[in-house]
Amino acid sequence: MNKLESYACGKWQAGEGGEVMLNALTGEPVAQVSSRGVNFAAMLAHARKVGGPALRKLTFHERAMKLKALASYLSEHKDRYYAISAKTGASKVDSMIDIDGGFGTLFSYASKGRRELPNARFIVDGSPEVMGKTGSFVGQHVMTPLQGAVLHINAFNFPVWGMLEKLSQNLLAGVPAIVKPASQTAYLTEAVFRDMIASGIFPEGALQLICGSVGDAFEHLTGQDLVTFTGSASTGQKLKSHPVIIRNSVRFTMEADSLNCSILGPDAVPGTPEFDLYVKEVVREMTTKCGQKCTAIRRAFVPRTQLDAVAEALKARLAKVVVGDPSVDGVTMGALASLAQRDEVRKAVATLRTVAELVAGDPDTVAVTGGDAAKGAFLGPILLRCQDPHGAAVVHEVEAFGPVSTLMPYDDVDDVIALAAKGEGSLVGSLFTYDNAFARELVLGAASHHGRLLIVNRDCAKESTGHGSPMPVLVHGGPGRAGGGEEMGGVRGVMHYLQRTALQGSPATLAAITGQWLPGSPRQEGVHPFRKNLDELQLGDTVKAGPRKVTLEEIEHFAAFTGDTFYAHMDEVAAAANPFFGGRVAHGYYILSMSAGLFVQPDPGPVLANYGLDNLRFVTPAKPGDELSVTLTCKGKNPRITEHYGEVRWDTVVTNQDGKVVATYDVLTMVEKAPAAA
Ligand code: NAP
């Protein structure tokens, strides 16, 4: 039997004694788990003193590259993880969701990190705020990594994804982690974690593991540390109210159970694609991972008139589910993670049956194909039906964390919104309808109670990622009962590990600190900045050009060759009647083009391309006779680590002969690095 070890302070360490975890299919011992003897205070100190500083030396892009390398490295060992995953009762599809889903999340963050975060060690958040009359005192928000560690406490149902979906964000942010998997399935997490350490991709101290209980770790948490918890609401609430969490304002993210619902729209009658899609999805959610998913459909709301039809359709589909050892041909659903878990589900079903009748399945017996029916944690899918969901509080409160769902009727949109809200906060809800007006009304009434809402119809069903799949680019988490936490959602998830600080000072000081030129900080003119490569270019490097006179001939010429003959440029009488112009004005795009003609240095050089404009505003109309000048200033540089170039952002201001601002925008270019640096 495998004695699991914790990875603490750079060493693998077995705990004393420990609980034995059993194979979910056969009941045979798989692993012994204990963290007794592990020094949790030392682990936290190691993360803060060794892991944190090493991670913070890297930029977001460097950390993102490491995530990608880690995902590729782990992918090579996938088959071994699948073999271990089978012992948790998982089918091949279940394992894919957990294992490949975890790697996919790493890849997604590796890509988002490089596309949406700067190649820097902190984030400049938003635009500067001018605080004084002359502009000599400004404010700017920045976001820097917390200098503590995050303790990730995970649930048993996703031993791989549960770990990686969280690590992807703290590692990208530059914060070290201590992972504590649920004991029941920690043997799979430990196997993957061993490879993560063996890969040497992340620096020592960035990753540690506790197999077993967290001991006195909570006693040693500081205000720079974080805890993320995924598991039952009862454990979560206990941990969230730990005195140290409260005293030190430790950031605590909780992802708890929730009574997620799926709603059949009134238009989705039998014979419509949405009816069939609904039935398929409810069954899929009941049986994938044996229903051991925090996002699974626990409450199925259907129009009262469709209750019988849906019950029959679900029953027919559920009858095709074959329970047993997923390695045996034809088996479509494996076992629950443990016998204890099966007992919990049976208990919950018994409570639900006080208000709901059994439609399909038998909580006490199930035909099993392969595996050891007497020792494995097998349970067939169980469909219940509750006629009076308003009068039956338990159907909205009790989570049977297994292949269990309860069918309930609703009368109209307000009724189903009220029923959905009885869950008191869910991770996800779904709606199957081809009626967009119904969908809008439902979303406006129910979104506040959900972290994610999926609307499925015949147009999107093929590409839909499904009710139960949290996506790395979308937020995962929900209000109230679901824990009130938020994870992932692309780079939003990274922000949880950063401290936002409002800086105040002079523009020059803040520019020096942030590496971003701010209005009011010094500009320097000299060699045309388009002649400088990325390494030579300095913040504040400026070119001023102009003036150039706007003429009616040029406006008409521009209109003729672009085809933009909008009346404000071409018809004096109509333009005079316009409340903004009072006569013919130059095209906005004429102003942009003319300004580019003024500031450009045309010869081949380090500037490779213009890839867009940001924050464009036309402030004052340009009229025939006006004389326009432009000031272009290097505002920010973002060298790419994998390319021979980087992005340069240029602050651009077009003014007229009176010094009035005509247009402001940021020009975005790609600029080559110095030959040696490239
Ligand atoms: P659990 O019993 O609450 O355990 C969750 C985690 O907390 C495990 O790692 C467990 O470790 C640990 N834990 C338990 N007591 C602790 C304590 N006193 N101090 C520190 N850690 C403690 O939940 P579970 O049964 O494993 O998971 C099933 C539940 O998780 C379901 O209700 C499900 O809905 C929910 N869930 C939610 C999400 C989500 O994203 N919202 C995802 C998956 C699951 P041990 O295993 O060592 O006891």
For 485-507, the DSSP string reads --EETTTHHHHTTEEEEEEEE-H
Give the residue-averaged pLDDT of 297-311.
97
| Residue 210 CB less than 6 A away from ligand 1 | no
Ligand 1 center from residue 275 Cα (angstroms): 35
Closest atom of ligand 1 to CA, residue 184: 46
pLDDT in tens, 131-146: 888 999 999 999 999 9
Alpha carbon of 160 to ligand 1 centroid (Å) = 14
Which residue has the least CA distance to atom 20 on ligand 1?
214
- Could you tell me which of 394, 382, 390 has the C-alpha nearest to residue 358? 382
Ligand 1 pocket mutation, candidates 257, 285, 342, 345, criterion most atoms within 8 A of CB: 257
Sheet containing 498-505: give its strands across.
123-130, 138-145, 498-505
Q: Looking at domain 2-256, does it have CATH number 3.30.450.20?
A: no
**CA-wise closest residue to 450 among 263, 617, 272, 282:** 263
Cβ of 235 below 6 Å from ligand 1:
yes
SS3 call for 194: helix
Q: Quote the ligand 1 centre to 277 CA distance (angstroms).
A: 32
Mutate to test the pocket of ligand 1, among 94, 153, 209 (most ligand atoms within 8 A of CB): 153
| Binding site membership of 239 for ligand 1 (Cβ less than 6 Å) | yes
Q: Which residue has the tokens 């004695």?
A: 3
Which sequence positions are flagged as catalytic?
A: 255, 294
Does ligand 1 come within 6 angstroms of the Cβ of 230?
A: yes
Instruction: Answer yes or no: is the C-beta of 232 below 6 A from any ligand 1 atom.
Output: yes
| Ligand 1 atom at minimum distance from 485 CA | 41
Give the pLDDT confidence of 215-248 residue by residue, as tens digits: 999 999 999 999 999 999 889 999 999 999 999 9
Integer CA distances (angstroms), 563 to 387, 531, 567, 616, 618, in order: 65, 34, 12, 22, 21
Q: How far is CA 670 from CA 121, 137, 363, 645, 678, in A?
A: 21, 31, 63, 6, 13
Measure the CA–CA gap between 344 and 575, rounded to whole angstroms: 75
pLDDT over 90 percentage in the chain? 93
Contact between 483 and 236 under an 8 Å Cβ cutoff? The reply is yes
Rounded distance, CA 55 to CA 203, Å? Answer: 7
How far apart are alpha carbons 469 and 110 in whole angstroms? 20
CB of 260 within 6 A of ligand 1: the answer is no
**Predicted pLDDT of residue 24:** 87
Question: What's the CA-to-centroid distance between 474 and ligand 1, angstroms?
Answer: 23
Å from CA of 470 to ligand 1 middle: 18
Nearest CA to ligand 1 atom 43: 294
676 pLDDT band, cuts 50/70/90, is confident
Amino acid identity for residue 625 in this structure: G
Ligand 1 proximity of 97 Cβ (cutoff 6 Å): no
Among 124, 120, 143, 7, smallest CA distance to 63 is for 120
Report angle CA 89, 167, 494 to the nearest 5 degrees.
135
Residue 354 Cα to ligand 1 midpoint, Å, equals 27
CATH of domain 517-672: 3.10.129.10
Amino acid (one-letter) located at 208 = Q
Cα separation of 323 and 111, whole Å? 39
| pLDDT band of 677, cuts 50, 70, 90 | low
| Whether the CB of 156 sits within 6 Å of ligand 1 | yes
Decide: 405 in ligand 1 pocket, CB within 6 A: no
Q: Are 194 and 163 in contact, with CB atoms under 8 Å apart?
A: no
CATH level 3 topology of 261-489: Aldehyde Dehydrogenase; Chain A, domain 2 (3.40.309)
Backbone angles phi, psi at 61, to 5 degrees: -70, -40
Q: Tell whether ligand 1 has an atom less than 6 A from the beta carbon of residue 488.
A: no
For ligand 1, atom 47, which residue shows the shortest CA distance? 183
Q: Is 190's pLDDT higher than 70?
A: yes
3-state class (DSSP) for residue 235: helix
d(CA 318, CA 346): 18
Q: Which amino acid is at 272?
A: T
Give the atom of ligand 1 at the shortest distance from the alpha carbon of 239: 19
CA of 481 to the centre of ligand 1 (A): 14
Nearest CA to ligand 1 atom 15: 235
Q: Are 71 and 161 in contact (CB under 8 A)?
A: no
State the DSSP H helix or E strand holding residue 8, giving kind and residue range, or none if neither.
Answer: strand 5-8
Per-residue pLDDT, 366: 86
**Atom nearest to 294 CA in ligand 1:** 34
**Distance from the CA of 230 to the center of ligand 1, in angstroms?**
6
Report the candidate in 587, 607, 609, 608 with the shortest Cα–Cα distance to residue 662: 587
Distance 232 CA to ligand 1 centre (A): 5
Whether the CB of 217 sits within 6 Å of ligand 1: no
pLDDT digits (tens, 9 = 90+) for 78-95: 999 999 999 998 989 999
Closest alpha carbon to 321 in 401, 378, 385, 263: 378
Model confidence pLDDT, tens digit, residues 264-290? 999 999 999 999 999 999 999 999 999
Nearest CA to ligand 1 atom 14: 235
3-state SS class at 302: strand
Going by pLDDT thresholds of 50, 70 and 90, the confidence category of residue 641 is confident
Averaged pLDDT for residues 36-54: 98
Q: Which residue bears the tokens 């499925």?
A: 456
Report, as an integer, the average pLDDT of 447-453.
97
Indicate the top mutation candidate among 232, 240, 252, 399 to test ligand 1's pocket, ranked by most ligand atoms within 8 A of CB: 232
**Distance, CA 182 to ligand 1 centroid (Å)?**
6
255 Cα nearest atom in ligand 1: 41
Q: Where are the domains of the chain?
A: 2-256, 261-489, 517-672
The response to whether residue 231 sits with its C-beta less than 6 Å from ligand 1 reads: yes
* Residue 192 · residue 118 · CB < 8 Å: no
Confidence class of residue 3 from pLDDT cuts 50, 70 and 90?
A: very high
Q: What is the pLDDT of residues 309-333, one digit of tens each?
A: 999 999 999 999 999 999 899 999 9
